[in-house]
Amino acid sequence: FFNIEDEGKSKRERGPKYTEGWVEFKSKRDAKLIAKQLNNQQVGGRRRTPWYDEIWNI
């Protein structure tokens, strides 16, 4: 799920800007496992992508 930034703040023509996002899991066990694996890990992807140096914060 994603929250979209208020339209009054952003005047971008490309599309919506998201302020935060989250994932919901059916089981607490799976959620804890994924959180342990992704927390403080590099988002990654190709070097030229804008999110290459970003870090997961879970």
pLDDT digit string, tens, across residues 12-47: 567 777 778 888 999 999 999 999 999 999 988 888
Write the DSSP assignment of 21-42 as a string of letters.
Answer: E----S-HHHHHHHHHHHTT-B
Give the predicted TM-score (pTM) of the model: 0.58
Q: Could you tell me which of 24, 25, 19 has the C-alpha nearest to residue 2?
A: 19
